[in-house]
Amino acid sequence: MWEGNPLKKKIHFGWFTEYGPIGWDGPDAVEGDWRQPKLYQQMAQICEKGMFDFVLYADHLGITSSFKGSIDNYVKYGLNGVNHDSTLLATMVAASTNHLGVGTTVSTMLTPPYLLARQMASLDHLSMGRVAWNVVTTGNVAGFLNFGMDQLPDHDARYDQAEEYMELCFKLWSSWEPDAVIMDRKTGVFADPDKVQPINFEGQYYKSRGPLNVLPTPQGRPTIIQAGSSQRGKDFAAKWADAVIVGAHYLDDMKAYYDDMKQRVTKFGREPEQLKVFFIIKPVLGMTEQLVNQKLEALRHPPESAIHAALSALSSRMNYDLSKFNIDEPLPPIDEKEIQGGQTTLSRFYTSGRRPTLREVAIEEAAGNKGSIAGTPEQVADQLQHIMESVGGDGFVVRVDTHDHGYMQEFVDTVIPVLQARGLVRKEYTGKTLRDNLMEF
């Protein structure tokens, strides 16, 4: 058992996946139709048993051609880009759970702000205050082409526009005062018109009269999640987000990111505890060390199809074609300005003086083992506790394909009880809303 500095607060957990076929052919995939809600609802119920804060569904608005200039690999392997609408799925999952937050990914660049504000407010009502919006600016040209736009705006320019988008949405969500609704049957008064006002917003990119035609919601506004890891993205998250998720692979990187984000928050007049930092993980878990070693060995030798799928997925996230490079050599330096998607997608593989080949990067990506966490339930709990004590908090999102129910069930049934016994994971939900639970500790 890990014996280091005692952790002063509990660990938050989330589940990160997408509404798509990812993992449909995995060796441990359960039978079921990924297009239907049942698989997602069952997995969410497992997460709720494990006292997770939320589930977050990634989304994409088009099938990319980032790898080799073709959609073929993405269609062939059912990669990210082949997706159904995560917002509609979130309503189904919310209806099947009682406490778990439901997060949907929506683009600021390709969704009218009034529409987004209305949908998120409605979903907050339907979920009784459990909705989260994962804010993305869309870094892949496929979505823009599908919406009739031929060019992808510059990375920082998309964030500039997103700033105004957020300002408008926040004004719409507050266009009704919290106590505006009366619904007095005796007088017939539904709401006090003095407490519902147009916002008359007019900016550089957007214009809206308001008010929003959705009543004040349980959370007031949705919980905001963001995954920015570029300098511009981190500032955006520090200003607007309640939680940020990041795929840092090594402890030093996690610590540096955590400290950086907590410091950035203060620049915008916020307290560090108002932004929770979640690290993406998928521990290799087994009931015995022998079984863990067998799983690790299998991950070190994925089939060639998995390597191609991983490179395709990385190319999609970066909006940059990695097929042009020799797979058995380290990547040469790439100008950050050429990467219009996730600018730090590759940099996390090349930290601490490491110079892996592109094949090694693909193998690590295919394994999905963010943070290189592996062991028996007790050992995994030790490592998670060690990370949190070394970094300072706040939690993890477990990135597991929807079909892999066995993995999540084992994690919840074996690792979570160990952490609960140490007082590091809640044993019951105390908050009424997602933000209540997220800010509980």
Please state, for a pLDDT cut of 90, what percent of the chain lies above it.
Answer: 71
Rounded average pLDDT over 419-428: 98
Q: Is 373 left (phi over 0), alpha (psi -120 to 50) or beta?
A: beta
Compute the distance between CA of residue 130 and CA of residue 68 in angstroms, rounded to an integer.
40
Beta carbons within 10 angstroms of residue 138's beta carbon: 27
pLDDT at residue number 5: 52
Are 131 and 123 spatial neighbours (Cβ–Cβ below 8 Å)? yes
pLDDT at residue number 251: 92
Rounded average pLDDT over 350-357: 71
Q: In angstroms, how far apart are the furthest CA atoms of the chain?
A: 77
- Close Cβ partners of 149 (under 8 Å, ≥ 6 residues apart): none
Residue 42 banded pLDDT, cuts 50, 70, 90: very high
pTM score, two decimals? 0.89
| 31 three-state secondary structure | coil
Are 302 and 366 spatial neighbours (Cβ–Cβ below 8 Å)? yes
Give the residue extent of every domain in the chain: 12-438
- Is 429 annotated in some ligand binding site? no
pLDDT at residue number 2: 44
Are 291 and 306 spatial neighbours (Cβ–Cβ below 8 Å)? no
Model confidence pLDDT, tens digit, residues 83-97:
999 999 999 999 999
Residue 339 banded pLDDT, cuts 50, 70, 90: low
Residue 108 has pLDDT above 70, yes or no: yes
**Span of 73-77, 129-133, 198-202, 256-260 with lowest mean pLDDT:** 73-77
How long is the chain?
441
pLDDT at residue number 113: 98
pLDDT at residue number 258: 97
pLDDT at residue number 344: 56
**Span of 3-7, 68-72, 155-159, 400-404 with lowest mean pLDDT:** 3-7
* DSSP, residue by residue, 164-179: HHHHHHHHHHTSB-TT
Beta pairing, strands 223-226 & 207-208: unpaired
Percentages helix, strand, coil for the chain (3-state, rounded to 5) are 40, 15, 45
Compute the distance between CA of residue 238 and CA of residue 51 in angstroms, rounded to an integer.
26
Model confidence pLDDT, tens digit, residues 212-261:
999 999 999 999 999 988 899 999 999 999 999 998 878 998 999 999 99
Residue 341 has pLDDT above 70, yes or no: no
- Is 105 annotated in some ligand binding site? yes
The CA–CA distances, whole Å, from 221 to 5, 106, 273, 369 equal: 36, 15, 18, 33
Beta carbons within 10 angstroms of residue 146's beta carbon: 12
Residue 348 has pLDDT above 80, yes or no: no
- Is 59 annotated in some ligand binding site? yes
CATH of domain 12-438: 3.20.20.30
Are 191 and 199 spatial neighbours (Cβ–Cβ below 8 Å)? no
**Span of 118-122, 140-144, 177-181 with lowest mean pLDDT:** 140-144
**Span of 53-57, 70-74, 201-205, 361-365 with lowest mean pLDDT:** 361-365
Residue whose C-alpha is closest to residue 142's, from 206, 220, 55, 59:
59
pLDDT at residue number 340: 54
pLDDT at residue number 331: 76
**Span of 108-122, 168-182, 357-371 with lowest mean pLDDT:** 357-371
Kindly tell me the sign of the dihedral angle through the C-alpha atoms of 396, 136, 84, 143.
negative
Tokens linked to 16? 């990160």
Rounded average pLDDT over 100-105: 98
The CA–CA distances, whole Å, from 438 to 131, 227, 276, 277 equal: 12, 17, 8, 11
Compute the distance between CA of residue 338 and CA of residue 327 in angstroms, rounded to an integer.
20
Compute the distance between CA of residue 279 and CA of residue 388 in angstroms, rounded to an integer.
10
The mean predicted confidence, pLDDT, of the chain is 91
Compute the distance between CA of residue 128 and CA of residue 98 in angstroms, rounded to an integer.
9
pLDDT at residue number 326: 84
pLDDT at residue number 347: 63
* DSSP, residue by residue, 99-146: S-EEEEEEESSSS-HHHHHHHHHHHHHHTTS-EEEEEE----HHHHHH
Compute the distance between CA of residue 346 and CA of residue 146 in angstroms, rounded to an integer.
27
- Is 321 annotated in some ligand binding site? no
Residue 421 banded pLDDT, cuts 50, 70, 90: very high
